[in-house]
Amino acid sequence: MALAAVLGFAFSKSSPEKEIRVAWVSSDQPNDLNERLREISTVRLSMATESEALTLLKRGKVDIIIRQLGDSLVFAYDPQHEAAHQAALQIELSLLKGTNTVQIPLKREVIKQSGMRYIDFLIPGLLAMGIMNSCLWGIGYTLIDYRIKKLLRRMVATPMPKTTFLASQLITRGLIAAFEFMVVYLFAYFLFGVVVQGNWLAILVLFASGIFAFSGMAVLIASRAANSQIGNGLINAVYLPMSIVSGIFFSYQGFPDWMVSIIQWLPLSLLADHIRMVFNEGASLDQVAFPSLLLGMLGLICLSLGLKIFKWY
């Protein structure tokens, strides 16, 4: 049910009524061109300096940058980004139609710089989602499967400490996820020139805290489920909503503000946003320290709660 609602939202957002988020860059004072853009009901205009506009674009907060350069308007966006492309066409159309058409020339600029393209937005998100995937399904499903097979019960009947067992799950999963991460990254690097502009150490810290957070969630989810349908359902209930709303494929900035203020704190959003910041904005270790700490704490809370109610037998 919740899922249907979320999907409904996502769909309604991709309909023609979808809000178009635009950064406006101009050295002039707000003028009538500016007014014309504002009049288009679907446009949400953010006034920005050149560098602010670039950051907004990198974070998916805007899809298009419109610059007023001399006596022309330049639309800058990545045509590979379907939503941005559609939005630009729509704005052009509204500016040119009606009695009061805009007189100055409209130009397009294709964004090609690494760090600003749609692929630069997409890949860090996919990497974050890969971490979530690997942990929730890898650990969550394994634990439930072992419980169904009575293997958990058989294992705790040996002198091996339970913590050793869980730690080994976490380490194994971390190694597998690291391998998957590198495969996707190298693929993106060689094929699309996606690069990490920031510190690899920051990536490592985010990666580790992500693994910990989602492993903790996996343990909590799997703490009592005794059959695979319930297990599947629980994992999906966490996994699907986040993979849709957390800004992996399209920016969550298109959701209403009150939702954005919640979504940005979801673990997957935190992870994806900050991995993206390190990739595209060159964020440093300090800048990812806080979100990493939050993720780590989430992991710790879930893990201790999960262990408290964990059904070994």
Q: Which residues of the shown chain bind other proteins in the complex (CB under 8 A)?
A: 146, 149-151, 153-160, 313
| Closest of 221, 264, 223 to residue 246, by C-alpha | 264
Q: Which residue lies nearer to other proteins by CB, 258 or 313?
A: 313
Q: Which residue lies nearer to other proteins by CB, 61 or 147?
A: 147
Q: Which residue lies nearer to other proteins by CB, 102 or 156?
A: 156
The SS3 of residue 77 is: strand
Least Cβ distance, residue 312 to other proteins (angstroms): 8
Q: Which residues contact 175 (CB under 8 A, 6 or more apart)?
A: none
Least Cβ distance, residue 309 to other proteins (angstroms): 16
H or E segment and range at residue 64: strand 64-69
Contact 263, 255 (CB under 8 A): yes
Q: Which residue lies nearer to other proteins by CB, 121 or 146?
A: 146
Least Cβ distance, residue 160 to other proteins (angstroms): 4
Q: Which residue lies nearer to other proteins by CB, 107 or 153?
A: 153
Least Cβ distance, residue 169 to other proteins (angstroms): 13
Least Cβ distance, residue 225 to other proteins (angstroms): 17
Q: Which residues contact 10 (CB under 8 A, 6 or more apart)?
A: 244, 245, 250
Q: Which residue lies nearer to other proteins by CB, 108 or 154?
A: 154
Least Cβ distance, residue 158 to other proteins (angstroms): 4
CB pairs under 8 A, 24+ apart, for 105-109?
Answer: 105/71, 105/72, 105/73, 106/72, 106/73, 106/75, 107/72, 107/73, 107/74, 107/75, 108/74, 108/75, 108/76, 108/77, 109/74, 109/75, 109/76
